[in-house]
Amino acid sequence: MRLKVNKTVSQQQLAIKLRVEKAENQGFFTWERRRLLIHAAKTALAAALCWWIAMRFGLPDGYWGAISAIIVLQSNFGATISASRDRIFGTLIGTVLGFAFTLVGTLPWNYILAVLAAVIVCGLLGLRGSSRLAGVTITIVMLVNTGSHWTLALDRVIEVFLGIVVALAISTLVFPDRARLRLRDGLAKEFLLLGTFFEAILEGFRGSPAENLPALREDVLAVLRSNNQLLEAARNEPSGGPGWREGLGMLSQFGRSLFDALIALEFSAKDSYEDRYAQQLEPALGRLAIDIRAGFHYIAECTHAWRFHIPPPGLHLEEDIAQLEARMAEVRPTGFQFTQAEILRAYAVQLHLKQIAQLLRASRVETSRAVGEAQK
């Protein structure tokens, strides 16, 4: 059997692929390395600025502001907001509990109880990321013997606020890096990789299995993990327009569902390259596979342009599914000529192909609705 998947893509689709490849293959100064250098420069600038402001206004322990800026300044704005939130809540909870427990009991018992209370309070408030910072603040307030505990607690809060404000300002004003924009490009790459993974799976259905199938699977998993982290950061950023959060979340969810469906297809197509029953499903089965491959590229193009309301030209996945189902009904009476294993594999493959086609169509339609586009 030969399922010839069409590799011809539109000029815009090819531009997306070349853009992704160019970002990853530019010699030593790749985009990731440039981003690393920019992040390093922004961190150094934030730390130095905090230290200068602290010295300028006579803060006794200005280095804590620099430390806070270094800790919360992340590679993108959304992650910086998340880290800042964890740090400020941890500092406030730790300051209040640390000072309160200095008024009751004696060391080390009141210190132990303060740390215990901080972890419990942060957990109950859903601020698990702040619990360690609260413990650090309690340690400083209760165990550092430099003046009154109240003065130490107040200075600690002021310095942390200074570091957070400076970090947010630097992240916003100096070479701003938005998680939502990186996620949009990451999702476009994800759908391209899913399409490549799909084609490699079908090679095992029509002939010898693709040698790079395990590597492609790992590449898709790596992109899924990276995009999931970016999604968490993007949710903390101010909205970039109508439906941005909803649209990005929708595409991420569909990407994971498509990957699960592809894994199921991979298991179904395993050891099926000599099956003869699947040949009887042509040309309907091959046509559906070709349009699914093109569908992955089209969703990547829509994601890159952030336009989902225009139906893909020349793709008729619903019609392909209907034709495949009709062809299955036609060849069903000839099933006695083939082994049960062949028939079951063919049925499993066509079911997973239909599921993938439906997910692809739904990913465009549902995302278009989420971002508030007028349907065509």
Q: Which residue has the tokens 């492609």?
A: 216
Dump pLDDT digits (tens) for 78-100: 888 888 888 889 888 988 898 88
Do 228 and 342 lie in one domain? The reply is: yes
Do 54 and 143 lie in one domain? The reply is: yes
What is the mean pLDDT of the segment spanning 108-128? Answer: 89
Residue 109 lies in a domain: yes
Question: Higher-confidence residue: 150 or 134?
Answer: 134
What is the mean pLDDT of the segment spanning 20-49? Answer: 72
Region of poorest pLDDT, from 213-217, 224-228, 343-347: 343-347
pLDDT at 21 over 70: no
Question: Higher-confidence residue: 338 or 229?
Answer: 229
Average pLDDT value for the chain: 81
Do 296 and 333 lie in one domain? The reply is: yes
What is the pLDDT confidence band of residue 7, given thresholds at 50, 70 and 90? very low
**SS3 for 237-293, per residue?**
CCCCCCCHHHHHHHHHHHHHHHHHHHHHHHHHHCCCCCCCHHHHHCCHHHHHHHHHH
Do 248 and 315 lie in one domain? The reply is: yes
Residue 7 lies in a domain: no
Q: Which of 119, 138, 173 is the last residue of a domain?
A: 173
Q: Please choose, from the candidates 269, 353, 265, 278, the residue with its C-alpha nearest in 3D space to the C-alpha of residue 317.
A: 353
Do 168 and 184 lie in one domain? The reply is: no
Which amino acid, one-letter code, is at 136? V
Do 109 and 193 lie in one domain? The reply is: no
Do 234 and 213 lie in one domain? The reply is: yes
Do 349 and 203 lie in one domain? The reply is: yes
Res 1: pLDDT: 41
Question: Higher-confidence residue: 345 or 93?
Answer: 93
Coil/strand/helix, residue 336 = helix
**365 vs 88, 309, 314, CA distance in Å?**
40, 7, 16
Residue 18 lies in a domain: no
Dump pLDDT digits (tens) for 305-332: 888 888 877 778 888 888 888 888 888 8
Do 353 and 246 lie in one domain? The reply is: yes
Residue 17 lies in a domain: no
Q: Please choose, from the candidates 164, 172, 43, 144, the residue with its C-alpha nearest in 3D space to the C-alpha of residue 92.
A: 164
DSSP 333: G
Q: Which of 173, 197, 231 is the last residue of a domain?
A: 173
Q: How far apart are CA 344 and CA 89, in angstroms?
A: 57
Report the number of distinct structural domains present in the chain: 2
Res 80: pLDDT: 84
Region of poorest pLDDT, from 5-9, 118-122, 132-136: 5-9
Dump pLDDT digits (tens) for 170-211: 888 888 778 888 888 899 999 999 999 998 888 766 666 677
Res 258: pLDDT: 95
What is the mean pLDDT of the segment spanning 339-358? Answer: 84
Range of the domain at 123: 31-173
Residue 217 lies in a domain: yes
**122 vs 63, 90, 92, 236, 339, CA distance in Å?**
26, 8, 11, 19, 61
Q: Both tokens of residue 157?
A: 């809060």
Write down the pTM of the prediction.
0.73
Q: Which of 128, 150, 173 is the last residue of a domain?
A: 173
Res 305: pLDDT: 85
Q: How far apart are CA 170 and CA 162, in angstroms?
A: 12
Q: How far apart are CA 143 and CA 31, in angstroms?
A: 45
- The answer to whether 371 and 308 have CB atoms below 8 angstroms apart is yes
Res 27: pLDDT: 52
Buried b (16+ CB within 10 A) or exposed e, 132-141: ebbbbbbebb
Residue 207 lies in a domain: yes
Report the CATH number at residue 296: 1.20.58
- Cα angle 130, 135, 137 (rounded to 5 degrees) comes to 95
Residue 15 lies in a domain: no
Do 154 and 273 lie in one domain? The reply is: no
Region of poorest pLDDT, from 116-125, 239-248, 255-264: 239-248
Residue 321 lies in a domain: yes
Q: For a pLDDT cut of 70, what percent of the chain falls above it?
A: 85
pLDDT at 9 over 60: no
pLDDT at 273 over 90: no
Question: Higher-confidence residue: 33 or 89?
Answer: 89
Question: Higher-confidence residue: 148 or 211?
Answer: 211
DSSP 334: G
- Cα angle 19, 25, 26 (rounded to 5 degrees) comes to 95
What is the pLDDT confidence band of residue 11, given thresholds at 50, 70 and 90? very low
Do 198 and 155 lie in one domain? The reply is: no
Do 165 and 244 lie in one domain? The reply is: no
Phi, psi of 293 (to 5 degrees): -60, -45
pLDDT at 5 over 50: no
**59 vs 50, 134, 195, CA distance in Å?**
11, 21, 57
Res 15: pLDDT: 52
| H or E element in which residue 219 lies | helix 213-234
